[in-house]
Chains A and B, each alone.
Chain A
Amino acid sequence: MENQFENTIQKYSSMEDVKGILVTDNNGLCLGCKGTINSNKAAYVSSLVNRAQSISLDNSKPTISIETDNTNFLISSENEIMVALAKQKMNN
């Protein structure tokens, strides 16, 4: 099971333009990470999802997109597991 999890992280982190991936639980404890996102960021990812959920009208799980100068962060959650993906921003 752990191999499958690690293979999935490896698969997504090796995709084109992906700079890093992080998987965390609801408590902000890092389950796995690869690339430029380190495990310390797990706390912020879970906090962002919980805050975003608190402003949602029907308490549904949010998908968050954060855009910086060079990177797009996509954060999604399912069953108390949150995934953050850092993607190189397109220059066009």
Chain B
Amino acid sequence: MEIQKEFDSIISKTQGLQAIIVSDKDGVILIQSTNPAFTLDSIDSSLATSFAVACDQIGKIGLSKNKSITTFYKYHQIIQFNYHPLIITFIADKNSNTGYLLNIGAEFENQLSTIANSIINSE
């Protein structure tokens, strides 16, 4: 699949980026690409579902629709994009360039629009 190859290429080229996951709001993973040295064992589907809930809550403060949330942890950072009905998750090292990851994540919206539209039409 073309998009899978592109994700693999982005991971190999981007310093510190460990995983890209495309899922729906229920946490069902559609596309996933990870650095071979990184395991996703400790991350379950609640990552996407809790993001969907957080987006709903943040939307209530009146600053229009939430686009992304960046979370910093002790060793990692997680950047999640809300491209309804898809959720894109980047898992990266804490020292990775957050601005760059936000830039490449923003470019995904058009590329994934075909998948997003087909999900919307099937609902």
Chain A interface (Cβ < 8 Å from any Cβ of B):
24, 27-30, 40, 42-44, 46-47
Interface size on B, residues (CB 8 A): 6
Instruction: Please encode chain B, from 99 to 114, with 1 for each CB lying within 8 Å of some chain A CB and 0 for all others.
Output: 1101100000000000
Chain B interface (Cβ < 8 Å from any Cβ of A):
97-100, 102-103
A-B contact pairs, 14 of them (CB 8 A): A24-B99, A27-B98, A28-B99, A29-B99, A29-B102, A40-B99, A40-B103, A42-B99, A43-B97, A43-B98, A43-B102, A46-B97, A47-B97, A47-B100
Whole-angstrom distance from the CB of B38 to the nearest CB of chain A? Answer: 20
Whole-angstrom distance from the CB of A34 to the nearest CB of chain B? Answer: 17
Whole-angstrom distance from the CB of B76 to the nearest CB of chain A? Answer: 13
What are the residues of chain A within 8 A of B100 when measuring CB–CB? 28, 43-44, 47
> Smallest CB-CB separation from B104: which chain A residue?
A43
